[in-house]
Chain A
Amino acid sequence: MEKRMLKDDNDRVDGILKVTGQAKYFAEYELPGLTYGVLVTSTITKGRITALNTKDAEKAPGVIAVISHLNKPSATAYEQEGGPQMKIFYTDRIFYNGQPIAIVVANTFERATYAASLVKATYAKEEFNTDFEKALKDPKAKKLQGQADYKRGEENAYKNAEVKLEERYFLPIETHNPMELHGIIADWRPNNQLTVYAKTQGVKATQGTIANVFKIPMENIQVNSEFVGGGFGMALRTWPLEIATVMASKHIGKPVKVVITRMKMFTMVGNRPAAIQTIGLGANKDGKLTGITHRAYGETSTYENFTEGVVNMAKFMYQCDNVNTSYAIVPVDLGVPIWMRGPGEATGAFALESAIDEMAHALGMDPLDFRIKNDPETDQQKNKPFSSKNIKEAYKIGAEKIGWNNRKNEPGSLVEGPWQTGYGVSVGVFNANRGKASVKGTLKADGSLLLQSATSDIGPGTGTGMTLIANRLMKIPVNKITFELGDSSLPPAPSQGGSATLSTVGSAVNDVCVALKSAIAELAANSNMDATANFVDVLKKNNLPQIEITKESQGGKEKDNYSMYSFSIHFVQVKVHSLTGVVKVSKIVSVGDSGTIVSPKTARSQMLGGAVGGIGMALTEESIIDHRYGRYINNNFADYHVPVNADVPEIDVNFINKPDPYINPMGAKGMGEIALIGFSAAVANAVFNATGKRIRTLPITPDKILA
């Protein structure tokens, strides 16, 4: 593959491949004898399938098989007791509208699509509820603890504060909607050998899940996922539709490809769950926080629980001796949610950072001053120092760049014709993690370095970051370094999630490079060469075509001694039209405080993407359900509004770029999540500053401004 066409060392290593169509995504693999699967979905929301007529579908042209719970092909784990409730094709139960109930496999996609429309299910319907707010109000509806209650100091101390507020915030369901549709190609061959081409954030996780369900050895399964057209969290698990495809391939003995439609992206691959949150804040008149209470309810499914870190941030972000949190999940008859970029923290930050702004207003303080005044020196939750934290510096940079001094503390002060201008700020924070990963390094006598690890790249530029780490350590030009990923046969690495890939896999790259260097140094010494001799000369002198080292790498005790987080500050300027209620984000300044920036271009791109996602969360994105039917109403790209170019102003991205001394050898902390976390609150705060209207329900659409 020709991918060495970099203009400079910081360019994406796969940029040319991507923009010229040479990057091959899962759906583009053509296997001999490939067949096509289309999923039939339930049209009721809850109940049982009493009959399934597949005869017409089976007789339709080109159809090879129709698979459902009637002929459940063997999946050993599903046949055993326990396991997930929603066992695809192993249950006649319907848990939500749009649940896959059968797969039709045919020799063309069009024929499979048509035949799928001929499968007719008869149901015994049961009463259902897809309305999260209704479930929350219903005393009989289940509420499950999602996280242990937290208390520091006095509970609900805000109630007795000199200045207090208690407000409720609502976030609707959001759907990830990456550009690339989900699906998989499965090729089950004799002797239980399986190859899949997947869209996954973790090739090892996919391999493990399939091995578990079908009870075949991991090594029988080859998972390929070199390029992924966006994940945002939805590809962090192996979905029932993927198991269905593997089942189908096993059943017919031929490779099967499934690519779901955009509509099915709303029902088969998760979403960001709706959440209702109450924040109570108390402060003294001088502007010191005296109490924080954060209570959250998140949506989950009836067949599987999903929890996320909605209330995490309240526990440590601000200096406050009295903090309590609670988080419960509420099952409704919908498909199970999954992490969506910035997962629970983005949900929580919308509420907390809105409330902080509201408190600043109640105190008559500049919200930036209020934040600075309550900025903690140490982590009060963990009772540990932060490994690194440069929030105050970030505030200063951002304030200067956005022109914060043009802001008036009195809302509605900046008016030009029908347009009102406002400024808002918010903080984002996410755990800075380092997991365990292995990387194999092969240093070759032709001067090149090959690095391999079963990690993923859902878009952030994993290969570019890893190449740059090696480039700096080994002094090998980037065009001589190749980083291979997305292949389950490579040394293991965790899934790409939680902003940890650069920290985790990058550390292993670091360790492999260090080991390769000392191996070369040792070889040099043994062959009477200078310790600084070039590795090419050393290898040649020793008649070695290459040397290989595999290193497993993980963090140590530093995690016990320090509290590690990445931070971001988002500043936005908005313009709100007083007659039409239209909100335009007119200026964005994001400042990332995430340690060393290893790969400046892709890091900036991450922040750009986070801001765009943040505009969507703040202003446009909402998955709408008609609760009478339990069906989505706007399940397409025309009606589910992600921001378009015209919604996005120039985004000024800044980094503190100071190494974290403890987290990992690079001093680099993750930033995929913080790019988004908090952004929606910055917009809501700016809207308030522009208009005096506090919108606590996202997205902030024109009707809410006019209300």
Chain B
Amino acid sequence: MINFQYLRTTTAKSAIALLVKDKNAKFLAGGTNLIDLMKRGVTAPEKLIDINHVPLKQIEQIGNKIHIGALASNSAVADHPLIKEKLPLLSWALQAGASAQLRNVATVGGNMMQRTRCGYFYDIEMPCNKRQPGTGCGAIEGFNRMHAIFGTSEQCIAVHPSDMCVALVALDAEVVLANAKGERKISFKDFHRLAGDTPQLDNNLKVDEMIIRLEIPVNNLAKNYHYLKVRDRASYAFALVSVAAALEISNNKIIDVRLAMGGVAHKPWRLTASENFLKGKEAILSNFEQAAQLAMQDAKGFGGNDFKLKLAPNTIIEALNLAKSKA
């Protein structure tokens, strides 16, 4: 086998210290994606730093924010009473992802860090700019049914596969990152990147940094919400398109609204223009339809994924319908 060093640590500080020592080191949490990538030869870290014993599993409310530790498991978050009560959109999105077995071991931080599921990325015999910059993109003129319609580049049209992240971007989450010198906080929407000319980079986490926790403001969006994931089978499949929708409605008027999409871009895709359009308007179908059209302004298909140009607005409309009609 390809040998690697396995290290285990129990504090974030020591984990970061180990990480900076070796640029070929990677953190190992649930390993549900990383181990696959190692088996397929996509990545070959020289050191795996097992951080599962670092105490970052908290799920708690501090002030008006809910804090979720980076090592809380997907199922622990999805099933936590605080999340179900105050951030049910997040709970639903998590439950739409993977399978129960995977959710039990996959962590919040790992979910954010998972790589694309593009088939060209996984097959080391085929070109992929994300895996090996400069080799070309197999998907642009190849099989691109699962691929992006927003924010694509000539280098890469891969999508970020997470469901959880779609809800988090909609919920205005923030991410706390740490390096040896201290912590910084960034908006969740700025965590992931577009492919641009650097498709090898999925996000803005620096090489010496570790994800510590999420902070999510409590909101009034826990009543009318829906996470609608359209996929090829009813469970355990990545999204063709998914929509996180949440509404705050008063007298059928939209006070606040959040919309984000998955399966359409290199990062979870927040629909700001649609939200701005809907704010203050009536929660009626014609407005939902207009909002959906607004969301599609810069969309571009690549052949195999052209159907998303129709599926995406339809899914936005249906997610808003379902969010609105939730009792």
Same complex origin of A and B: yes
| A231–B12 alpha-carbon span in the complex (Å) | 48
| A646–B237 alpha-carbon span in the complex (Å) | 11
| A626–B123 alpha-carbon span in the complex (Å) | 12
The 4 A-B residue pairs with the shortest CB-CB distance in the complex, in nearest-first order: A646-B234, A703-B307, A110-B1, A633-B119
* A631 and B234 contacting across the interface, CB-CB below 8 Å: no
* B143 and A580 contacting across the interface, CB-CB below 8 Å: no
Give 18 new A-B contacts, CB below 8 A, not counting A113-B1, A620-B233, A639-B119. A43-B125, A580-B230, A584-B234, A619-B232, A629-B126, A629-B138, A631-B123, A631-B126, A633-B123, A636-B122, A643-B233, A644-B235, A644-B236, A647-B235, A701-B232, A702-B230, A702-B311, A706-B314
* B317 and A641 contacting across the interface, CB-CB below 8 Å: no
* A626 and B126 contacting across the interface, CB-CB below 8 Å: yes
When C-beta atoms are compared, the residue in chain A nearest to B237 turns out to be: A641
Residues of B within 8 A of A703 (CB): 145, 240, 307, 311
User: Least Cβ distance of A116 to chain B in Å?
Assistant: 11
Residues of A within 8 A of B1 (CB): 110-111, 113-114
With an 8 A cutoff between CB atoms, is B41 at the interface?
yes
With an 8 A cutoff between CB atoms, is A34 at the interface?
no
* B234 and A580 contacting across the interface, CB-CB below 8 Å: no
User: Least Cβ distance of B20 to chain A in Å?
Assistant: 28
* B318 and A114 contacting across the interface, CB-CB below 8 Å: no
- 21 inter-chain pairs at a CB distance below 8 angstroms, sorted by A residue, are A117-B2, A418-B321, A577-B318, A579-B317, A580-B311, A581-B230, A582-B230, A619-B233, A624-B143, A626-B119, A628-B142, A633-B123, A638-B236, A638-B238, A644-B236, A702-B240, A703-B145, A703-B240, A703-B307, A706-B310, A707-B307
When C-beta atoms are compared, the residue in chain A nearest to B146 turns out to be: A639
With an 8 A cutoff between CB atoms, is A302 at the interface?
no
With an 8 A cutoff between CB atoms, is A634 at the interface?
yes
- Number of A-B contacts defined by CB within 8 Å: 87
With an 8 A cutoff between CB atoms, is B315 at the interface?
yes
Q: Which residues of chain B from 308 to 326 have any CB-CB distance to chain A below 8 Å in the complex?
A: 310-311, 314-315, 317-318, 321
When C-beta atoms are compared, the residue in chain B nearest to A707 turns out to be: B307
Would you give the 0/1 interface string for B117-141, flagging 1 where the beta carbon is closer than 8 Å to chain A? 1011011011000000000001001
Residues of A within 8 A of B125 (CB): 43, 629, 631
| A124–B122 alpha-carbon span in the complex (Å) | 25
User: Least Cβ distance of B178 to chain A in Å?
Assistant: 32
With an 8 A cutoff between CB atoms, is A645 at the interface?
yes
When C-beta atoms are compared, the residue in chain A nearest to B143 turns out to be: A633
Residues of B within 8 A of A582 (CB): 230
Partner of A646, one of B142, B228, B235: B235
Residues of B within 8 A of A579 (CB): 314-315, 317-318
* A581 and B235 contacting across the interface, CB-CB below 8 Å: no
| A631–B236 alpha-carbon span in the complex (Å) | 24
Q: Report the interface size class on chain B.
A: 20 to 34
| A45–B142 alpha-carbon span in the complex (Å) | 17
Residues of A within 8 A of B318 (CB): 418, 577, 579-580
Residues of B within 8 A of A418 (CB): 318, 321
* A626 and B230 contacting across the interface, CB-CB below 8 Å: no
* A645 and B235 contacting across the interface, CB-CB below 8 Å: yes
Q: Which residues of chain A from 577 to 602 have any CB-CB distance to chain B below 8 Å in the complex?
A: 577, 579-582, 584
Partner of B142, one of A620, A626, A643, A644: A626
| A633–B120 alpha-carbon span in the complex (Å) | 7
Partner of A114, one of B2, B126, B138, B314: B2
Would you give the 0/1 interface string for B256-276, flagging 1 where the beta carbon is closer than 8 Å to chain A? 000000000000000000000
When C-beta atoms are compared, the residue in chain B nearest to A620 turns out to be: B233
| A515–B171 alpha-carbon span in the complex (Å) | 77
Given contacts A579-B314, A579-B315, A703-B311, contact A620 B235 (CB under 8 A): no
When C-beta atoms are compared, the residue in chain B nearest to A616 turns out to be: B233
User: Least Cβ distance of A115 to chain B in Å?
Assistant: 9
Residues of A within 8 A of B117 (CB): 638-639
| A707–B145 alpha-carbon span in the complex (Å) | 13
Interface residues of B: mostly helix, strand, loop or mixed? Answer: loop
User: Least Cβ distance of B131 to chain A in Å?
Assistant: 15
User: Least Cβ distance of B245 to chain A in Å?
Assistant: 13
User: Least Cβ distance of A63 to chain B in Å?
Assistant: 12
Q: Which residues of chain A from 546 to 577 have any CB-CB distance to chain B below 8 Å in the complex?
A: 577
When C-beta atoms are compared, the residue in chain A nearest to B307 turns out to be: A703
| A703–B308 alpha-carbon span in the complex (Å) | 8
Residues of A within 8 A of B145 (CB): 703
When C-beta atoms are compared, the residue in chain B nearest to A62 turns out to be: B1
Residues of A within 8 A of B230 (CB): 580-582, 702
Residues of B within 8 A of A619 (CB): 232-233
User: Least Cβ distance of B30 to chain A in Å?
Assistant: 15
| A633–B125 alpha-carbon span in the complex (Å) | 11
| A644–B235 alpha-carbon span in the complex (Å) | 7
Residues of A within 8 A of B123 (CB): 631, 633
User: Least Cβ distance of A688 to chain B in Å?
Assistant: 19
| A612–B153 alpha-carbon span in the complex (Å) | 40
* B233 and A117 contacting across the interface, CB-CB below 8 Å: no
Residues of B within 8 A of A580 (CB): 228, 230, 311, 314-315, 318
User: Least Cβ distance of A122 to chain B in Å?
Assistant: 15
Residues of A within 8 A of B41 (CB): 117
Residues of B within 8 A of A644 (CB): 233-236
Residues of A within 8 A of B233 (CB): 619-620, 641, 643-644, 646-647
User: Least Cβ distance of B318 to chain A in Å?
Assistant: 5
Residues of A within 8 A of B119 (CB): 626, 633-634, 639
Would you give the 0/1 interface string for A107-125, flagging 1 where the beta carbon is closer than 8 Å to chain B? 0001101100100000000
| A646–B235 alpha-carbon span in the complex (Å) | 6
* A706 and B311 contacting across the interface, CB-CB below 8 Å: yes
Residues of B within 8 A of A117 (CB): 2, 41
User: Least Cβ distance of A111 to chain B in Å?
Assistant: 6
When C-beta atoms are compared, the residue in chain B nearest to A625 turns out to be: B143
Residues of A within 8 A of B235 (CB): 644-647
When C-beta atoms are compared, the residue in chain A nearest to B317 turns out to be: A579
| A603–B35 alpha-carbon span in the complex (Å) | 40
| A125–B283 alpha-carbon span in the complex (Å) | 61
Residues of B within 8 A of A645 (CB): 235
User: Least Cβ distance of A687 to chain B in Å?
Assistant: 15
Residues of B within 8 A of A701 (CB): 232
When C-beta atoms are compared, the residue in chain B nearest to A628 turns out to be: B142
Q: Which residues of chain A from 613 to 671 have any CB-CB distance to chain B below 8 Å in the complex?
A: 619-620, 624, 626, 628-629, 631, 633-634, 636, 638-639, 641, 643-647
| A638–B235 alpha-carbon span in the complex (Å) | 10
| A651–B232 alpha-carbon span in the complex (Å) | 21
Q: Which residues of chain A from 668 to 707 have any CB-CB distance to chain B below 8 Å in the complex?
A: 701-703, 706-707
Residues of A within 8 A of B321 (CB): 418
| A183–B84 alpha-carbon span in the complex (Å) | 46
Residues of B within 8 A of A638 (CB): 117, 236-238
Q: Among A579, A584, A624, which residue has the most Cβ atoms of chain B within 10 A?
A: A579
